[in-house]
A and B are shown apart, each in its own frame.
Chain A
Amino acid sequence: MENAERLLLDLVDAGHLVPMGIDGMYGRGAAFEDTLLRFDAYISRSAKDDGATLVRFPPVINRRDFERSGYLKSFPHLAGTVFSFDGTPAEHQHLLETVEAGGDWSATQKMTGAVLCPAACYPIYPTLRGTLPQNGRLFDVFSYCFRHEPSKDPARMQIFRMREFVRISDGDSVRPWRNMWIERAMELLTAIGLPAVSAVANDPFFGRGGRMLAANQRAQELKFELVVPIASEESPTAIMSFNYHQEHFGSTFGIQTSDGAVAQTACVGFGMERVTLALFKYHGMRVDRWPDSVRRVLWG
């Protein structure tokens, strides 16, 4: 059995994950959820003096904003769009008959105005159209995110939570802020016993054009990840990412700095389920048996 599948079985046996009959989607047990929320509070403590504005969006984004964001150019294979029935009673009858016969009922569905959120920071940029205050903005966002990549690896869920801090300002502020977070995050993870390593990374861009986008992203060191082996030693899992978008969102959504330049953006994201899974992987399935040093940090 693959390591990933064995880890998944251990997590299910311990009651940490509850299978839902579809790869990459699980209920979370009490200890799993408590650990995740404790880690979330730990992040908040580390960032309490930063002055970030907290906003919580539901796990969807306005379809028009999504279309403008450019996500479909880069990741058409990961996006999930919300569809719903919008037909006549006769068409409803056809829908029920098709479902009853085990057929394909997608033709009865119509696209709605909502797309599942692909990353917690996506809903924030469209709200910032216009001119930023002098020192730019800093946001704290947290959301379930969806990516269509079914897998037996518990560390590759289709729907998972992401806590992010997002900096919107000029390049001279945004880049050092991102680099500060790489160091801070290493300290945070070391204190809870996770052997994270920082690495230049690329997003999983689609197709041949995507190879070029990935090469560009690496050549410019736009993305860093902190990785930890979870299901595999050879290909460790990213539990955090640090992304510098340059002017992409600033130009797409018409955001300017107080000097009138196109705003630059960066985000720092914690994969909340992945961090939690790493904790179970490294410290065992029983939270009450975790090292005191780790318990003290998370539970105080």
Chain B
Amino acid sequence: MKDKIRNILREHGKLAQDALSLLDEADLYQAGMTSHASVNVMLALESTFDIEFPDRMLKRNVFESIRAIEGAVTELVSGLSSKPAGAR
């Protein structure tokens, strides 16, 4: 999963350094990810993992590091049944 997340960050994160060499806990905003880039990262995560971030997760800290993203994606992938019907 982390590799997929790193690839998404490399493509959409507009980071100043290669996402493949970032530490899991590195602050992505410090690394250059803008607010608009974080929206694109969020949308790419949704299509890659076939998930939908609920409103409560559309927050700055959910996307602040690879570890935080992994935690959020894991929660959504494991709780697929709780996805609202017809949401996609």
Restricting to A193-242, which residues have a CB under 8 Å from any CB of B?
208-209, 211-213, 215-217, 219-220
Q: Quick one: given A209-B43, A212-B42, are A219 and B36 in contact (CB under 8 Å)?
A: no
Main secondary structure of the interface of A (DSSP, over half): helix
Number of interface residues of B (CB under 8 A): 13
Contacts of A216 in B (CB 8 A): 35, 38, 60
Residues of A within 8 A of B60 (CB): 212, 215-216, 219-220
Q: Are A211 and B58 in contact (CB under 8 A)?
A: yes
Q: Contact between B36 and A211 (Cβ–Cβ < 8 Å)? A: no
**Chain A residues whose CB sits within 8 angstroms of the CB of B51 once the complex forms:** none
Chain B contact residues: helix, strand, loop or mixed: helix
Q: B86 to nearest A CB, angstroms?
A: 16
- For A213, list chain B residues within 8 Å (CB): 35-36, 39
A28 CB, nearest partner CB in chain B, Å: 37
Q: Are A70 and B58 in contact (CB under 8 A)?
A: no
Chain B residues, Cβ within 8 Å of A74: 36
Q: Which size class do A's interface residues fall under?
A: 10 to 19
In the bound assembly, the distance between CA atoms of A220 and B60 in angstroms comes to 9
A67 to chain B, nearest CB (A): 14
Q: B47-79 CB contact bits vs A (8 Å, 1 = yes)?
A: 000000001001111010000000000000000
CB distance from A211 to the nearest CB of B (A): 4
B56 to chain A, nearest CB (A): 10
- B36 partner residues in chain A, CB cutoff 8 A: 70, 73-74, 213
Q: Which residues of A contact B38 (CB under 8 A)?
A: 212, 216
Complex interface: chain B residues within 8 A of A212 (CB): 35, 38-39, 42, 58-60, 63
- CA–CA, A211 to B56, complex, Å? 10
A284 to chain B, nearest CB (A): 42
Contact A209 B59 (CB under 8 A): no
The 3 residue pairs across chains A and B that have the minimum distance between CB atoms = A209-B39, A212-B58, A211-B58
CB pairs A–B below 8 angstroms (24 shown)? A70-B36, A73-B36, A74-B36, A208-B58, A209-B39, A209-B42, A211-B55, A211-B58, A212-B38, A212-B39, A212-B42, A212-B60, A212-B63, A213-B35, A213-B36, A215-B59, A215-B60, A216-B35, A216-B38, A217-B35, A219-B60, A219-B61, A220-B60, A248-B34
